[in-house]
């Protein structure tokens, strides 16, 4: 790949993630921020990422199982050990606390809930898999990352991405680490980013359903 195409390649994998993270800090109320951020991320994907979005999954049945398994791991500690996440390794100045920052009035706001579910189940898996496993996992191996095949394994790139992915999840860093390892492994196994996106989407969709069905809003920080 010629060096002059690198900026476009970087933007394709990074821009939607940067837009998503940056817009979290807009001084809008959550019910206004959610649709604005959703529209902005869709626009970023359409403008920058169309050429790198993957097609079909390689192992759809296995992908669904991976996504469901990560969801089960995500909620299991809190179900099995009430108060588990109040430990200082999860509840501290660095990680924050496992409590939702969303105003409770939003639990009956249909537009907000619809946007948040679509964002969680569709947009976040796409933008995060582009960033973490489509770009960073390869960039750590070689800076002209598009010359590195998807799913190329090196111990350092695998574990660096898993740990950074875990750190993104604050007080849920432990299950975030398990998720990062699972999604990394699945990319190494399938060499297809579509499988990781679908697995991640299944996890987030099940978690959204769990949040809404049982009022477990702490999972939507």
- The per-residue pLDDT for range 176-197, each reduced to its tens digit, is 999 999 999 999 999 999 999 9
19 in any annotated domain? no
8 in any annotated domain? no
Lowest mean pLDDT, pick from 43-47, 69-73, 74-78, 110-114: 110-114
Which residues form the domain of 200? 57-219
Q: What gap in Å lies between CA 7 and CA 154, rounded to an integer?
A: 25
- What is the model's pLDDT at position 108? 83
- What is the model's pLDDT at position 61? 98
182 in any annotated domain? yes
49 in any annotated domain? no
- For the chain, the average pLDDT equals 94
Q: What gap in Å lies between CA 162 and CA 137, rounded to an integer?
A: 9
152 in any annotated domain? yes
Using alpha carbons only, how large is the chain's radius of gyration in Å? 17
Task: With cut-offs at 50, 70 and 90, classify the pLDDT of residue 13.
Answer: very high
179 in any annotated domain? yes
Whether residue 95 contacts residue 176, with contact meaning beta carbons closer than 8 Å, is answered with: no
Q: What gap in Å lies between CA 87 and CA 7, rounded to an integer?
A: 43
Task: With cut-offs at 50, 70 and 90, classify the pLDDT of residue 100.
Answer: confident
10 in any annotated domain? no
Is 205's pLDDT higher than 80?
Answer: yes
4 in any annotated domain? no
Number of domains in the chain: 1
- What is the model's pLDDT at position 54? 95
pLDDT per position as a tens digit, 17-60: 999 999 987 777 878 888 999 999 999 999 999 999 999 999 99
Q: What gap in Å lies between CA 153 and CA 74, rounded to an integer?
A: 25
């Amino acid at each position: 790949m010629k060096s002059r195409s690198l900026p476009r390649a970087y933007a394709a994998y990074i821009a939607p993630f940067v837009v998503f993270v940056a817009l979290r800090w807009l001084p809008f109320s959550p019910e206004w921020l959610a649709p604005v951020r959703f529209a902005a991320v869709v626009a970023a994907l359409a403008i920058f990422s169309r050429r790198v979005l993957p097609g079909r999954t390689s192992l759809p049945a296995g992908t669904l199982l991976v996504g469901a398994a990560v969801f089960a791991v995500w909620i299991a500690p809190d179900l099995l050990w009430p108060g588990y996440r109040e430990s200082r390794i999860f509840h501290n100045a660095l990680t924050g606390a496992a409590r939702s920052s969303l105003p409770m009035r939003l639990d009956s706001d249909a537009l907000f809930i619809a946007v948040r579910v679509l964002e969680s189940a569709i947009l976040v898996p796409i933008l995060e898999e582009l960033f973490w496993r489509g770009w960073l996992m390869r960039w750590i191996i070689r800076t002209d990352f598009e010359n590195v095949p998807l799913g190329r394994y090196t111990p350092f790139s695998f574990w660096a991405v898993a740990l950074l992915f875990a750190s993104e999840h604050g007080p849920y860093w432990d299950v975030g680490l398990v998720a990062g390892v699972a999604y990394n492994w699945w990319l190494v196994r399938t060499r297809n980013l579509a499988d990781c996106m679908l697995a991640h989407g299944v996890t987030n969709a099940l978690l959204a359903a769990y949040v809404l069905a049982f009022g477990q809003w702490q999972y939507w920080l």
